[in-house]
Amino acid sequence: MTATNLPLAARADQLVGSVIDSSTSLLQQQTHDIVRFAMGSPADDAVPSQILAGITETALAPDAADAYGYAATEGDPPLREALLATLKGTSDETTEDRLTITAGGMQGLDLACKLFVDPGDLVVVEGPTYTNGSATALSYGAELAEVPVDDDGMVVDALPAIAERAGRTPKAIYTVPTFQNPSGSTMSLERRHQLLELARTWGAVVIDDDPYGMLRFEGDDLPTLREVGEGDPLVFSVRTFSKIIAPGLRVGWVDTAPELQSLLINAKQAMDTCTNLPAQRLVSGFLEGGHLEKHLATQREQYRKRKHAMQDALQEHLGDIARWTDPEGGFFLWVTLSNGVDTQELFETALAEGVAYIPGPAFSPEGHFSDALRLCFATTDAERTREGVRRLRRAIERQGES
């Protein structure tokens, strides 16, 4: 029996896979040497595994059986406390009644869509966007519309025309406002205000997905949408430790209006009861030990150097046929080719040449950006990056010949 013969829910039709996530297993299956620009994870050398191992000795000691129990749905109290203290005085400062610990950023996105998106609702996403986010909205039956992104982030001015074309206003607007995945661009302060004003007029929720904000290595901090919104119940902020500590922990948090708390808890209880407790204990140990600030300072410096190394390599090897973005933080460069090569078709050749990236259309529910690709600069050192970009050039040339 194929899945189509099963009595599936209508929403199963809207479960689209993630090219981004699938590349993890695809790359794990490759046995030849590949320079990996594909995944958006911290490099192995950026994961504080030694510190985490030290925390394990006490937090997960042989007699710490309580660390393996169920946690409170809203999060383990020590982690909640440590997180509130960590965020104090930052643009993401929050309070007891706004905070829920989640299983990474993805669960935050799922909770947002579960609470706000009905089948047929219009949800605006950025073009390009983080398609795991748009896929979450789709899984609740959303109809998506893409709004362009430029060097100042989402082109908020384009939103009214999108609503007009759709014949209705959006129910939710999904944005990655800071060091966007995949473009690396950051929404300007003016646009942040403009977006919230429009969302208020429409009564649309703004899903503010900001996993990279703490990874600024150049330029000046901007207030988060959460701060610009000053506690507006229509701003649903999704955060994660995946990029700043380690993604495999699967720990994140959401900051939402106090009036949403009990609904959030109900939704999370119907999903996973609570977030993995041993992982929460590791994260709280990391925060309580005061490690985060130093760790972030080291990472920022590392990522700054790696971004420049990648841009230099691009200039040297692809300067004549490509342009790319200049993010002030985060993990990604968005490269646009001007020689007509289709980056989806190029992928196999690139893999054979020993370099992996994510093709542009993977970031567009409408399938745009076949001339673009996302490169993660965070994972590879300067020399390896140069080699990877050299291989990319070779792949493009081979593709052009065929």
Residue 238's SS3 state is strand
Q: How far is the CB of 268 from ligand PMP (least distance, A)?
A: 14
Q: Which residues bind ligand PMP (CB under 6 A)?
A: 40, 104-106, 130, 133, 176, 181, 209, 211, 240, 242, 247, 252
Q: Which is nearer to ligand PMP, 247 or 365 (CB)?
A: 247
Q: How far is the CB of 104 from ligand PMP (least distance, A)?
A: 3
Give the pair of three-digit tokens for residue 237: 């902020």
Q: How far is the CB of 242 from ligand PMP (least distance, A)?
A: 3
Q: Which is nearer to ligand PMP, 170 or 211 (CB)?
A: 211
Q: How far is the CB of 251 from ligand PMP (least distance, A)?
A: 8
> Which of 279, 278, 247, 280 lies closest to 76, judged by CA?
280
> Which of 108, 160, 161 lies closest to 136, judged by CA?
108
Q: How far is the CB of 174 from ligand PMP (least distance, A)?
A: 10
Q: Which is nearer to ligand PMP, 94 or 178 (CB)?
A: 178
Q: Which is nearer to ligand PMP, 183 or 343 (CB)?
A: 183
Q: Which is nearer to ligand PMP, 94 or 181 (CB)?
A: 181
Please give the Cα distance from 102 to 96 (Å, whole number). 14
> 187 near 175, Cβ under 8 Å?
yes
User: Quick one: 348 exposed, middle or buried, by C-beta within 10 A (0-12, 13-18, 19+)?
Assistant: exposed
Please give the Cα distance from 182 to 189 (Å, whole number). 20
Q: Which is nearer to ligand PMP, 202 or 363 (CB)?
A: 363
Maximum Cα–Cα distance for the chain, whole Å?
A: 64
The separation between the first and the last C-alpha atoms of the chain, rounded to the nearest angstrom, is 40
Q: How far is the CB of 66 from ligand PMP (least distance, A)?
A: 25
Give 306's Cβ-side CA count (13 Å radius): 26
Q: Which is nearer to ligand PMP, 292 or 396 (CB)?
A: 292
Q: How far is the CB of 179 from ligand PMP (least distance, A)?
A: 9
> 122 near 143, Cβ under 8 Å?
yes
CA dist 398 → 321, 346, 384, 395, 401 (Å): 14, 9, 21, 5, 5
